[in-house]
Amino acid sequence: MSDTTGPPPSGGAGPSSTRKEPPPSGGAGPLATRKIRRRGAHPLARFLVRRVLLAVLMAWGITLVTFVLTNLVPGDPVAANLGQRALGDPAIVAQWRAEHGLDQPLWRQYLLHLQGLLQGDLGTSQQSHRPVSQDLAEFVPATLELAGAAILVSLVLGVAFGVVAALRRDRLSDHALRVLSLIGISVPTFWLALMAFYLFFYRLQLTPGSGRVDAALGLAPAVTGMQTVDALLAGRWDIFSSAVAHLVTPALVLALYTIGLLTRFTRSAVLEVLGQDYVRAARAKGLPGRVVLFRYVLRSALVPIITVAGLAFGSLLSGTVLVEAIFAWPGIGQYAYKSATTLDLPAVMGVGLVVGVVYLVINLVVDVLYGVIDPRVRLH
Amino acid sequence: MRRRDPLARKGLLRRLPEAWRQPLAVVGAVLAVAWLVIALAAPVLAPHDPLAQDLPRLAPPGPDHWFGTDQLGRDILSRVMYGARVSIPLTLLLVALSVLIGGLLGACAGYFGRWADETIMRVADLVFAFPTVILAMVVAAALGPSLANAVLAVLVVAWPSYARVTRGLVLGVREREFVLSGRLLGFSAWRSLRVDVLPNVTGPVLVLATLDIGTALLLLSGLSFLGLGAKPPSPEWGAMVASGVEVFDSWWVATFPGLAILTVVLAFNFLGDTLRDALDPRTARAIKERAL
């Protein structure tokens, strides 16, 4: 688990790992720059290639971890998937094991698994008897829609709150925001989801209940699998507004934790920049406050904020497992829960893999943004 | 106190009492102590047997049952109180174990470097590559649903952050003169770690641990909520919230155990947050910079 309000432990292919290397000090700086330039490729391109290679390596590590975890632990998939009567018949058990490759030595199982992965084959779910990749393709877009909405909300609100807190440091609004953000990171998500469902849907009937759109409207023709986007593409405004209405509560519930997280980090990042000489100089020469804030302060504060946002996306993906169960959101979180409790190994591996890779990609994007925002990063 | 001249700050002990005077820390401390007392004195305080199913079912909160009763006719107030005996000790144990394991591995990685460093930190990286609940869920599911296995699952995802921070701090002091002179005097690696390095690492790690207690409890109760932790009759808060899902129109069944989790987590987050500010405004940055 990552610490909640502390410094960000950088994610796997940690974006921060690049930043922490000290920038070339003093006179060595320009020289080092020239050296790297002379070696050919554009520094940003070299930086990207290195990052992508690292991500691929991590992805391979993820396949190894999901595989080892779901195989070396003492759960017995045979007992979990076959009924009592079938278990009594050794022939059926043996056939089932052979069918799922469980009679092979472990390393061969892994190689088979890896070979399948490269061909886009994640195995067959032992519960739904459908290819795991097909199951996931159905569930991933719903989760991405939910988590995407939540990260957007958290970025907007978290950064805004953090800036306000930093600018009004030690005043009442700063203290209030501190307490609120600490509450935000302390609320159990699953409980908040239930409370919101009870209050807004059951009691006040302000929001539609579970699911993604009103059943009467039917789903928009699937293009991306995200209802809001698909409805827009199809020009169906009724579906769009229904989808948004369904999305609001779970997304807000999911976002609360990351809003708190981002508020705290934005505050300290902005405070750090506010004390810098160049900000004071900008102020002293009479630039309007808005210009100083957006061009001078926020631009450099953005670097740590983006890192945390990348990590926050991980906690959002985690949160979906808890939120989707309550709102009956047909996403990967619910699928993960169902397959984990039934020890559906291929499904569990698939979920772990996909979520891990999504997380990797997000962190890769963060890394690239880093390189774009802060030129110093590319040199390392 | 945040505005004071940083040079005027001396020694941990002189600053701590001031930290305790901050309202946030006071609230946190009061909440934490209150819950500790409840956990210790639950048999005396609780009005009913937390497992006895002899009350009217789903009675709303009232003078007889302050928090109401659940669908099996158990007194929720008593169950919430007894729940403190389940969740709090386990969470503290969990964090202590992750500090111990993560700290030890991180110290080895930082101190010995080379392959020890590579192996340990790459494993930590891999754990970081997963969102926590997903990984914990996979581990808990694979081990089989039980409270002990849930603790183990959280442990698996919790140790790497300590390993990272400790490694960074150890790297920071490893080449310092007092450590090197110790080695020259013939200290074994183990003794050098224990005597010279460890005292320089404990402060920031303890702050991290305080902040982590909340996260650990959230994760543990989350697993129980998903049915991967405590078994049904046990008055575990996450499991109690889960049982409230089935009867969600009886709001009190889920509300009060959830509030219990919230207040405990809040208490430790308040404490940890103030502690971090107090120990040194730059500790946080120091941890961050050295750790990575």
pLDDT tens per residue, range A178-199:
999 999 999 999 999 999 888 8
pTM (predicted TM-score): 0.81
Residue B69 β-bridge partners: B75
Which regions of chain A are under pLDDT 70?
1-41, 70, 72-87, 100, 209, 215-216, 341, 343, 375-380
| Type of residue numbered B241 | V
| Average pLDDT of every residue of chain B | 81
Asked if residues A2 and A14 have their Cβ atoms less than 8 Å apart, the reply is no
Average pLDDT over residues B74-95: 91
Burial of residue B204 (number of CB atoms within 10 Å: 0-12, 13-18, 19+)? buried
Q: Distance from B6 to chain A by nearest Cα, in Å? A: 15
Residue B272 in this model has a pLDDT that exceeds 80? yes
Q: Distance from A237 to chain B by nearest Cα, in Å? A: 32
Asked if residues B102 and B120 have their Cβ atoms less than 8 Å apart, the reply is no
Selected residues 92-121 of chain B with any CB under 8 Å from a CB in chain A: none
| CATH 1.10.3720.10 domain range(s) in chain A | 137-329
What's the pLDDT score for residue B237? 93
Closest CA to A249 of A175, A196, A203: A196
pLDDT class of B13 with cuts at 50, 70, 90: very low
CB atoms inside a 10 Å sphere around CB A368: 17
Q: How many A-B residue pairs are in contact by the CB < 8 A criterion?
A: 219
Helix (H, G, I), strand (E, B) or coil at A124: strand
Given B141, B245, B289, which is nearest A348 (Cβ)?
Answer: B141
The residues, any chain, with a CB within 8 Å of residue A295's CB and separated by 6 or more, are none
How far is residue A62's CA from residue B128's CA, in Å, rounded to a whole number?
Answer: 10
CATH of range A137-329; options 1.10.3720.10, 3.40.50.720, 3.40.50.300, 1.10.630.10: 1.10.3720.10
Query: In terms of DSSP H, where are the helices of chain A?
Result: 16-19, 28-38, 43-72, 77-81, 84-87, 90-99, 106-118, 132-167, 172-186, 189-196, 227-234, 237-274, 277-284, 289-291, 298-327, 332-341, 345-373, 375-378
Asked if residues B87 and B225 have their Cβ atoms less than 8 Å apart, the reply is no
What's the pLDDT score for residue B279? 67
Which chain B residue is nearest to residue A316, measuring alpha carbons? B131
Asked if residues A373 and A302 have their Cβ atoms less than 8 Å apart, the reply is yes
pLDDT digits (tens, 9 = 90+) for B210-255: 888 999 999 999 988 888 888 778 889 999 998 888 887 888 888 9
What's the pLDDT score for residue B249? 81
Asked if residues B229 and B242 have their Cβ atoms less than 8 Å apart, the reply is no
Q: Distance from B231 to chain A by nearest Cα, in Å? A: 14
What's the pLDDT score for residue A127? 76
What's the pLDDT score for residue A75? 52
B143 touches chain A (CB under 8 A): yes
pLDDT class of B98 with cuts at 50, 70, 90: very high
Closest CA to B283 of B1, B5, B6: B6
B292 touches chain A (CB under 8 A): yes
What's the pLDDT score for residue B173? 83
Rounded to 10 deg, the angle between the B252-279 and B202-225 helix axes is 170
| Type of residue numbered B244 | G
Burial of residue A47 (number of CB atoms within 10 Å: 0-12, 13-18, 19+)? buried
Residue B20 in this model has a pLDDT that exceeds 70? no
Asked if residues A120 and A133 have their Cβ atoms less than 8 Å apart, the reply is yes
Selected residues 258-287 of chain B with any CB under 8 Å from a CB in chain A: 258, 261-262, 265-266, 269-270, 272-273, 276, 284-285, 287
Given B132, B254, B273, which is nearest A194 (Cβ)?
Answer: B254
Does the model's ipTM exceed the 0.90 cut?
A: no
Contact B140 A194 (CB under 8 A): no
Which chain B residue is nearest to residue A335, measuring alpha carbons? B134
How far is residue B270's CA from residue B213's CA, in Å, rounded to a whole number?
Answer: 11
pLDDT class of B18 with cuts at 50, 70, 90: low
